[in-house]
Amino acid sequence: MNEASFQTGAKLGPYDILGTLGAGGMGTVYRARDSKLKREIAIKVLPQELMQDGNALARFQREAEALASLKHPNIGAIYDILQSDHSTFLVLELIEGETLQQKICRGAIPLEQALPFAKQIAEALEAAHEKGITHRDLKPANVKVTPDGLVKVLDFGLAKMSEPQAGAGTALSNQPTIAMSMPGMILGTPAYMAPEQAKGEETNRTSDIWSFGCVLYEMLTGHPVFEGATRSEILADVLKAEPDWQRLPAETPESIRRLLKRCLRKDPKRDFAISATPVSKLLKR
C-alpha cells in the first residue's frame, strides 16, 4: 500500500484511517483509530519517495527519539514508530484544536490570550533544552492550542539532539539548515530562522529563543516579523532588517517589549534561558 491510498477507511497496521489532518515535506499526518486500545491517534507517514533517502529516514528517527525523551504537558507525545506495508510512520498523540497559524489568520491575538500561550511555549522549549534538544522549526503552524487553552508544541522533525542523544545523527543535524535534500523540500522555515540558522551556521537553544520571539511578535501583531515575496527576500531581512516595533499594540507592557528585543537580537549570544520562572514573570502584564 502506498501513501496515496491512505484514505478514509484504509488500514495501516492496527490503525484505521479516519481522515487527513495535514501534510508537509516530511510526511502526511492522518487522524486514525487504534483498534486495539479503542482510542483516536495521529499518524505521521513518511512519504514513499523518501523511504530510500537515508537523510530523511534519519530525521524521521530523530524526531521519534526526541519526542520519546520528552514528557511534558506542552509537547505532543509519541507512542511508537512502526513499519507496515512498506511504510514508516509515527504514532502520535491526537491533539484537538487549532494551530496558532489558524488563529493568527483571523488577526492579532489579544494580550490576555497571547501571553499565556507564550508562557506555555516557553516552558515546552525549556523542557526540550534541558534534554539537549533544539527544535529548530518553531513556528505558529507547529503549535496547537486545544479548546481549553492548552498549548502543544509539535513537529520535532528538524530537532537537533546534543550528545549523547544524537549518536550517529549528529553529522546530519549539523548540516546547513537551508540545504535541500530533494527538490522543493527546505529544511527550516525562513521567516522563523535565526540569523545563524539562515546562514547555515551552528544552531543551539538560542536559535529557538529567536523563533520564540518571532512567534510571540506574530501573535501580538498579526504579522510575521520578517515578510517578503520570496525566500531570498525573507532571509535577507532576517540577516539585515530590524523588526517594526511600531506594530506592537500600544498596550504592550514594557517588559514584553524588552523580552522581544532580547529574543530578536541579531547577535547569536541571546544570553538568557527561556525557563518557567523568569518567563512567567516576564510574560505578566
> Which candidate in 137, 155, 208, 237 is catalytic?
137
Distance CA 225, CA 36 (A): 45
The yes-or-no answer on residue 137 being catalytic is yes
Print burial letters for 234-273: b (CB count within 10 Å at least 16), e (below 16).
bbebbeeeebeeeebeeebeeebeebbeebbbeebebeeb
Q: How far apart are the C-alpha atoms of 222 and 218, rounded to whole Å?
A: 5
Cell of 83: 513499519
Nearest-angstrom CA–CA distance, 140 and 100:
5
Q: How would you write 257-276 as a 3-class SS string?
A: HHHHHHHCCCCCCCCCCCCH
Residue 14 CB burial class (10 angstroms; 0-12, 13-18, ≥19): middle
Distance of CA 108 to the CA centre of its chain: 20
Residues involved in catalysis? 137
